[in-house]
Each structure stands twice: as structure tokens, then as C-alpha cells.
Amino acid sequence: MISNYDEQNIQKLAQLLLKSEYPIAFTGAGISVASGIPSFRGEDGIWSKYDPNILELSNYYSHPQSCWKFIKEIFYDKLKGVKPNPGHYALTDLQKMGLIAAIFTQNIDNLHQASGSRDVYEFHGNTQYFVCRSCESKYSVVDINLDDEYPRCPDCRGLLKPDFIFFSEELPGDVLEKAYSDAKIADLIIVIGCSGEVYPANQIPNYVKQFGGKVVEINPHSSLYTKTISDFRIKGKSQDTLQELVATVKKMREMQKDEK
């Protein structure tokens, strides 16, 4: 169900999108909730049940076996078979209509790519790949044995690390660079399901604002952006509101065609 309040804001966002020259999307955990991905923070979050130390890089390297047991449970057993939800697909639709230049995400679930989105930039890596600590080869998850005491390189038998960012690990420089340069030219950023708490990725909407772009949020909960830099917020669930946004944009385009 879309509220009247949201309906009006979706119209506003559709108009902004249609006249925007370089709109980008910025996504966080909220867009994957409907796919069944549990959140990490908060009362029922993953870290209320597991020790975050398992994702401390030096700990993983020195005790891969004890860490892997839990990493596998959280990121591979629990998340096995998760699929994109209508929110991911709607974003892909907007991209196919030429209305999203790039998607920046803090998620590591690969669901944007799985829904067919292109130009996806991941601040925190991706669970679906592994990198060998010894020979630096990269593997897809389907090519390695997750049931070993810890994942090993099929080639050199070295320790594999899931290719997402562990604690105290640096963010990929190329993604940050692309995000900073896009933030300067983006005239619109749609911030979807982000609380805005995780530094430094959380700075991107601030940069867009600073360089004169509009910031529109889609989030049932208010975030650190809501009272600071957001131009407005759509309060419905992302899977509902993004589908409605696609329909609204299509309608507006049809009307524009008729007028010509």
C-alpha cells in the first residue's frame, strides 16, 4: 500500500529523475530486507548473536578454522538461495530506461547484479567471490568447497578470504574514487534503505548535496540524512515504492510522447 503522502513524493521523484542528467542510486541493507537478508546492527542483528571478532582480519588469518565455522554459517548457510526482490528489479528497470547512471551499494549480497543491474559499485565487496591470500587468485563461490575446515585455493591450497571487507580492512580505492567523482557530477542521488551510519561510504550523499545535487530518500525509518541533507523522504518499503516509481515514470513518459 502506498500512502497519499508517498504518492505525491513518488511523483516528485519521477519528475526529478526525468529531468536529471546524472542520477545515481545509493543502497544499503534496507533494500535487501525483503529478500530475507538479516540486518547486522540493532537488537536482533547478527552481531547480537555472534562475536564480530570473527571478521577481524588478523584473527581470521591466525585462526581461520574457528572463524570460518561462523562466517560460513552467517554468510553462506543462512543466505543460501536468497534472491533479488521487486525493489532490486525495479532499480534494474530504471537503469534499463536510462535513468540510473550507477548504483553504489554498501551491501555484499550480490543481489543488484543478480537482478540484472549493471554499473554496480560495491563499497564493502561481495560474498560471492573469494581471494587467495597466497597467490591472489580470485574465485567464484561455486568453484570452491565451503565444507572444508576453511576455504582453500583450488590452485595453491592457500587460505581463501571471502572478498568482502573485514573489520579493519580498507575499502576498495577504485570504488571510493568512482563514488567521489560521481558525487561531484550527480544532480540527483536516490538513497535507498541506508541508515547513514557506516563511514566512509555514508559520506557520498553528503558530497552530492555539497556539489549541488538533490538527495531523495526511500526509507521507512528516518536516517542520519533525513533531517540534515534530504530534500524529501518516501516512507514506504523500497520494494513497493520503487515499483510505483517505475510505473509513474512510464506514465509520465507516455504523456510527454502524447504531447509531442
Query: What residues are annotated to the active site?
Result: 124
Residue 153 or residue 245: which is nearer to Zn ion going by CB? 153
The separation between CA 24 and the C-alpha centre of its own chain, rounded to angstroms, equals: 12
Element (H, E) at 52: none
Query: Judged by CB under 5 A, which of 17, 29, 94, 153 binds Zn ion?
Result: 153
Q: Does 160 bind Zn ion (CB under 5 A)?
A: no
Q: Does 185 bind Zn ion (CB under 5 A)?
A: no
Residue 144 or residue 198: which is nearer to Zn ion going by CB? 144
Q: Does 148 bind Zn ion (CB under 5 A)?
A: no
Residue 132 or residue 234: which is nearer to Zn ion going by CB? 132
* Cα–Cα nearest to 134, from 106, 165, 101, 157: 157
Least gap, CB of 130 to Zn ion (angstroms):
10
Q: Does 143 bind Zn ion (CB under 5 A)?
A: no
SS3 percent helix, strand, coil of the chain, rounded to 5, is 45, 15, 40
Cα separation, 139 vs 128, whole angstroms = 9
Query: Judged by CB under 5 A, which of 51, 156, 167, 254 binds Zn ion?
Result: 156
Helix ranges, 127-237 (H):
173-185, 204-210
Stretch that binds Zn ion, among 8-16, 96-104, 153-161, 247-255 (CB under 5 A): 153-161
List phi, psi (to 5°) of 160. Answer: -95, 145
Residue 112 or residue 152: which is nearer to Zn ion going by CB? 152
Helix ranges, 63-220 (H):
64-72, 86-96, 111-114, 173-185, 204-210
Least gap, CB of 28 to Zn ion (angstroms):
33
Cα separation, 17 vs 12, whole angstroms = 9
Residue 151 or residue 193: which is nearer to Zn ion going by CB? 151
Number of residues that bind Zn ion (CB under 5 A): 8
Cα separation, 210 vs 204, whole angstroms = 10
Residues 109-138 that bind Zn ion (CB under 5 A): 132, 134-135, 137
Cα separation, 78 vs 38, whole angstroms = 9
Residues 228-257 that bind Zn ion (CB under 5 A): none
Q: Does 172 bind Zn ion (CB under 5 A)?
A: no
Q: Residue numbers of the site for Zn ion (CB under 5 A)?
A: 132, 134-135, 137, 153, 155-156, 158
